[in-house]
């Protein structure tokens, strides 16, 4: 007689909340490994910060992992789709307002202060970013060739691994650019004795509009481009707000967690579309 061991959702969630990624070992070493790789870098950054806010963020991350384990073990993981959709819907409202009015308000404000050269310079700089980004993206061409090879050979695991690396590099380029723009906006506000909020508002358009423009050229069905735009928008908002409240270092682990989550979501969508290698082998046998 075979006994089937049932894992208890509340126990798995408790272990994960207390032990972090190692709590996943209660029922899956593969998910424990993924969770460890996903959270190790943000947690390393958090542990290097002696701050009450860092401690709150750290335990917040543990709580999110515990909630995931509970939903996973109880067979309710489908609820994450509704939760994520609700979060996106809530965030989309302020982002839409910023996209429409942010550049207009900051531009008019700065022109009224006699800083029209700054507005014109920001506009032309934004126009050059897509061209510069395409040059930097050339570095990913060897990886893109390997990814194409894996797709042609129907190597699903290799394809997903290379895809994750490729997406991470693209998002890393976006994050470096966003952090650069926030720093420039703050430096200009100090050097010219201007309102920091206005410069950050202008910087939002400079940081995000190039990626929105490039995504628009690829069409609404390009999931990778749309998620790249979202990474630029969310990372800028989080970093700028954290900078204003003197917690810039705290924002980096949070941004990395969001970016890693987006990458896993993107790979999950691709994985659902791609057939398994075993299934393909069966088809070939016939």
Q: What is the pLDDT of residues 194-237, one digit of tens each?
A: 888 999 999 999 999 988 888 888 766 677 788 888 889 989 99
Mean pLDDT of the chain: 79
Mean pLDDT, to the nearest integer, of 126-151? 81
Average of per-residue pLDDT across 261-286: 58
Dihedrals phi, psi of 172, to nearest 5 degrees: -65, -40
Once rounded to an integer, what is the mean pLDDT over residues 57-67?
81
Q: What pLDDT is attached to residue 221?
A: 63
Q: Of the segments 70-74, 100-104, 120-124, which one has the largest average pLDDT value?
A: 120-124
Q: What is the mean pLDDT of residues 95-104?
A: 84
Question: Which of 40-49, 73-82, 100-109, 229-238 is predicted with the least confidence, judged by mean pLDDT?
Answer: 40-49
Q: Where are the domains of the chain?
A: 1-77, 83-285
Q: For the chain, give the percent of residues with pLDDT over 70.
A: 81
CB contact set of 158 (below 8 Å; sequence gap of 6+) = 150
More confident residue, 60 or 211: 211
Model pLDDT, residue 144: 77
Question: Residue range 93-102: average pLDDT?
Answer: 83
Q: What is the pLDDT of residue 2?
A: 41
Looking at the chain, list the stretches that DSSP marks H as alpha helix, in order from N- to C-terminal side. Answer: 9-19, 29-47, 52-73, 79-97, 103-112, 116-136, 141-152, 156-191, 196-218, 223-244, 248-273, 277-285
Q: Which residues of 249-267 are buried (b: 16+ CB within 10 A; e: fewer)?
A: bbbbbbbbbbbbebbeebb
- Token pair belonging to 98: 């910023």
Calculate the alpha carbon distances from 282 to 74, 149, 151, 152, 276 in Å: 32, 21, 18, 17, 10
Which range is least confidently modeled, 47-61, 150-164, 187-201, 269-283? Answer: 269-283
> Nearest-CA neighbor of 157 among 23, 16, 274?
274
- For residue 1, the model assigns a pLDDT of 41
pLDDT computed for residue 178 by the predictor? 92
- What the block records as the tokens of 191 is 């050097």
Measured between alpha carbons, how far is 41 from 47 in angstroms, rounded to an integer?
10
Tell me what the mean pLDDT of segment 2-31 comes to: 81
């Amino acid at each position: 007689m075979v006994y089937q061991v049932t894992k208890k959702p509340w126990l798995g969630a408790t272990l994960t909340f207390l032990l972090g990624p190692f709590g996943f070992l209660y029922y899956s070493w593969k998910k424990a490994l993924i969770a460890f790789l996903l959270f190790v870098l943000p947690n390393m950054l958090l542990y290097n910060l002696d701050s009450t806010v860092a401690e709150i963020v750290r335990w917040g991350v543990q709580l999110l992992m515990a909630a995931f384990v509970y939903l996973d073990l109880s067979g309710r993981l489908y609820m994450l789709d509704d939760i994520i959709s609700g979060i996106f819907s809530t965030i989309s409202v302020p982002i839409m307002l910023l996209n429409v009015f942010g550049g207009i308000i900051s531009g008019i404000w700065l022109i009224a202060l006699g800083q029209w050269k700054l507005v014109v310079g920001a506009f032309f700089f934004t126009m050059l970013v897509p061209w510069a980004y395409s040059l930097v993206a050339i570095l990913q061409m060897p990886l893109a060739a390997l990814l194409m090879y894996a797709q042609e050979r129907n190597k699903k695991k290799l394809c997903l691994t290379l895809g994750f690396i490729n997406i991470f590099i693209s998002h890393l380029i976006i994050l470096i650019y966003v952090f650069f723009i926030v720093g420039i906006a703050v430096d200009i506000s100090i050097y010219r004795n201007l309102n920091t909020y206005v410069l950050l508002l202008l910087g939002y358009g400079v940081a995000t509009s190039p990626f929105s423009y490039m995504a628009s050229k690829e069409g609404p069905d390009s999931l990778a481009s749309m998620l790249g735009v979202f990474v630029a928008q969310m990372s800028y908002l989080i970093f700028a707000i954290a900078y204003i409240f003197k917690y810039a270092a705290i924002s980096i682990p949070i941004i990395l967690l969001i970016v890693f989550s987006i990458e896993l979501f993107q790979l999950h969508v691709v994985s659902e579309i791609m057939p398994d290698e075993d299934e393909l082998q069966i088809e070939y046998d016939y």
